Amino acid sequence: MPVTIVKDDDDFKVRFGAAGPKTTICYFTAAWCGPCKQISPTYDALSNQYLNAVFLKIDVDICEGTCASYGVSSMPTFIVFKDGAQKESIKGADRVGLEALVKKYAEDSTAGSLVAGQSDLKSIFDKKQMECLNGSDDTPLDLFVEGNCNLVSDCDEQLIISFPFHQPVKVHSILIKGVGERSPKRVKVFINLPKTIDFDNAAGLEPTQLIEFDKSATEGQGQIVQTKYVKFQNVQNIQFFIEDNIGGGDVTELVQLAVFGTPLSSVNMSEFKRVAGKAGDAH
């Protein structure tokens, strides 16, 4: 995922411990280091390509204890850890070498993607704050996002689904796959709203983009729709209002809803507020 700047030695211990078995690429740098300034854009770009790895940027003048413990004596130095164990390291502003090192130990999130060159952004959803209004209790949103169940509406055919991100992203495409006549038909897409929208507001508010699906959204891998890219350049949260379904029935059912794009930077989205009330109260 995008780069995390380590604040001090204690912060490093916390963040390194939280990484657990994930591939972790530690970048030891300094504000005065010329070669570091040359290689930093490459390191940042790799963090947006390998979303399942952890990228930690460590200032040697602030984290002296961490640097000493790993024998860091020159900048830049890159050390790769996997399963908590140190694997390899390289020194110097070697772009090709750094790219090869990260590729060796981390999984490219764009490889095999349904949208060429774009990542499935579910790994950076803020899963503690994402919401679904009018979803069935038997099909919770977190299980749906991980592909462990379909998502089914409850009281009627409408759904509101909210995905906050841990950091801003560019959204390139949206994939929706439904179930036969229960598949979504008209979907309003909203971005950067201060809280989860309710059904009354969703019906009257102008969307960032309106998507109308046909029966192809029920077949194969679903239907991928490219966003109006210029409007989706700095997205902090994205919400979907599923207004109706293809068959006109009372139940909408989703097999998959995916958002593809590219992260921009590391920003804490904890200020995103949960809407008051229970799911479906404003319906």
Give the pair of three-digit tokens for residue 229.
Answer: 């890219």
Give the pair of three-digit tokens for residue 205.
Answer: 């508010």
Query: How many CB atoms are closer than 10 A to CB 269?
Result: 16
* Cis status of the peptide bond prior to 140, with omega within 30 of 0: no
Q: How far apart are CA 117 and CA 135, in angstroms?
A: 32
Please pick, among 26, 33, 63, 132, the residue that the annotation labels catalytic. Answer: 33
Please pick, among 36, 63, 67, 132, the residue that the annotation labels catalytic. Answer: 36
Nearest to 214 by CA among 172, 245, 259, 237: 245
For residue 98, count CB atoms less than 10 angstroms from its CB and return exposed for 0-12, middle for 13-18, buried for 19 or more: buried
Amino acid making up residue 170? K
**Contacts for 30-36: CB closer than 8 Å, 24+ residues apart:** 30/59, 30/60, 30/61, 30/75, 31/59, 31/61, 33/75, 33/76, 35/75, 35/76, 35/92, 35/93, 36/75, 36/76, 36/93
Query: How many CB atoms are closer than 10 A to CB 122?
Result: 17
- What's the Cα-to-Cα distance from 109 to each of 112, 118, 232, 257, rounded to whole Å? 8, 8, 20, 17
Q: How far apart are CA 170 and CA 151, in angstroms?
A: 25
Nearest to 157 by CA among 245, 85, 241, 77: 245
Which 3 state secondary structure label does DSSP give 234?
coil
Q: Is 36 a catalytic residue?
A: yes
Q: Is 26 a catalytic residue?
A: no
Active site residues: 33, 36
